[in-house]
Homo-oligomer: A and B are copies of this chain.
Amino acid sequence: MKHRLKVIPIGGFGEIGKNMLLLQYGDSIIVIDAGLMFPDGDMLGIDFVIPDISYLLANKDKVKALILTHGHEDHIGALQYILKDLNVPIYGTSLTLGLVEKKLEEFRLKANLNKIKPNETINIGPFTIETFRQTHSIPDTIGLAITTPIGLIVISGDFKLDQTPIDGNPPDFNKLVELGERGVLALFCDSTNVEQPGITPSESLVKSTFEGIFSSTKSRIFLVTFASNFHRIQQAIDMALKFGRKVAIAGKSLINNIEVATKLGYLHIPENILINIKDVNNLPDEKVLVLTTGSQGEPYSALSLLTNHSYKQLFLKPGDTVILSTKPIPGNEIMVYKMVDQLFRKGVEVIYGKDAGVHVSGHAAQEEIKMFINLLKPKYLIPYHGEYRHLALLKKIGLELGISKEHIIIIENGTVLEFDEEKAIINGRINLNNIYVDGLSIGDIGNIVLMERKKLAEDGVLIVGVLVDGETGLILEGPEIISKGFIFVKESEELIETAKEKVREAFKKKVGRNGGINKETLVREVLENFFNEELKRKPVVVPLVWEI
């Protein structure tokens, strides 16, 4: 019997991050990627968000494999949380699995890891999965061509079309052409960078900028980059070699990642070029390159410590050069620019920003996306890895390329899309929640707690204790008022006294007449009204009434 092919997006459709996509045919499910997402400004105090795998848990014995397209956190970062409940064989390329292993080690987890190469074919249940090489800001990135009983599905993964990548391996255009000729039923296409016209510059662009900086700089150079951008790290090391600098590494994630990538052959570090961070101070300035993390202005990153405190006896001094070879993750702009200000204030030379030529994106811009689609000639185009506007803009591009409106399908997380040999239909949706990680709490913080945090952040909290005579209902002691984040009590004594008086009056007036009144509610209402009138502000009022 022929089934329909189900496609269920769990994360990364209508958002950037926590990527996870399911394909289901009959009793076989494969999962593509398992990433985390950084919280946005509304998710106060949250460390990160992970995909909701309840559908997978409810169909545990159908889940045959988890395939990882590359080693970025938005593709592998939720693994440690889901493996406990879902121990499924994991497939990925050498570097991806190397990074996964390091992560699992840290969390003391074991998994069934299966190495695949770019351009390899594996069979999993009814699915034949061919991998193909993609260029992206981390090596060993793959896309997937999945032959199903219904047709050929291509999953782009994250990609750009870099004609001159650092490792000399351009995208596998032949494979793309071949797939296009075979006939692609549906293409899931990365839309992260679709707002950008033209093409994303090659990683090699950074090389010429680095050359210019390294050849003309006499000071120490601190190069800040994402810990997984091995292309960038390789380029920095090549420059150090060329211009006679030793290289020190600051930041735990960078040290770990460099260890993994070097061992697996994705980084080529000449002998004797690495030095310990504590030896930096023994070298002349022009002999020093420090690679460091901290590009997002995180307060405890290596770069922040280098700036404000001391990172193992090393700190930034006036005249040092800092290259921010990254860009702010959306939402981090203010923090990043505060850090840049702080560096300038210290007298450091900072090279940063989109016009500096020290960073390029890892995602395809409009013309690359068009090229990619034209090579694959899909019948259906499904934008993914994007917030809603990105999906909508990719749809526009599809229309420009002549794909018909009905064949470009925008779906968001949870929407079930089904293909049979005739057509694609949307067939309901599964219920998904944001799973918030905060410390060791996974999933037990919900939207109510977040709404409370938002309210607390806006106007603070007033805690009001009252000791009441259980018989007369009158106040024996208190009210005692404690403010957190509302006012500075010491400087507002008069206001607080009046507020207390209001509560006492209300008890005399209302509790006397009506012993059954809810005393907590009374306290809350009296004080909410009072402070709204006095200050036009609405703190969270928490009454604690004891009756004795």
Contact = CB atoms under 8 A, between A and B. Distances in A.
Interface of A: 14, 40-41, 44-45, 195-197, 330-331, 333-335, 337, 340-342, 344-345, 350, 353, 355, 387-389, 391-392, 438-441, 444-446, 448-450, 452-461, 463, 465, 467, 477, 480, 482-488, 491-492, 534-537, 540, 542, 544, 546, 548
Contact of A389 (B337, B485, B488): B337
Nearest to A477: B546
Nearest to A439: B536
Nearest to A546: B467
A41 B344 CA distance: 21
A334 B344 contact: no
A457 B334 contact: no
A441 B446 CA distance: 32
Contacts of A537: 438-441
Q: Which of A335, A392, A448 has the most CB of B within 10 A?
A: A392
Contacts of A335: 41
B441 A388 contact: no
A548 B467 contact: yes
A491 B459 CA distance: 26
Nearest to A44: B457
> How many monomers of this protein are in the complex?
2
A465 B388 contact: no
Contacts of A438: 459, 535, 537
Given A344-B389, A392-B344, A445 B488 contact: yes
A330, A456, A540 — which one has the most chain B CB atoms within 10 A of its CB?
A456
Contacts of A345: 388
Contacts of A534: 440
Contacts of A353: 195
A535 B441 contact: yes
Contacts of A456: 453, 456-457, 460-461, 484-485
Given A453-B457, A453-B458, A467-B548, 4 more contacts: A337-B387, A341-B388, A455-B484, A456-B461
12 contacts: A41-B334, A44-B457, A45-B457, A330-B333, A331-B334, A341-B389, A444-B488, A444-B491, A449-B485, A449-B487, A456-B457, A461-B461
A325 to B, nearest CB: 17
A535 B344 contact: no
Given A334-B330, A341-B388, A388-B344, A465 B45 contact: no
Contacts of A342: 388
A481 B461 CA distance: 15
| 5 closest cross-chain pairs (CB), A and B | A439-B536, A457-B457, A452-B485, A341-B388, A453-B485
A335 to B, nearest CB: 8
Nearest to A350: B389
Given A488-B448, A536-B440, A341 B387 contact: yes
A524 to B, nearest CB: 12
The CB with the most chain B CB atoms within 10 A, among A389, A391, A487, A535, is that of A389
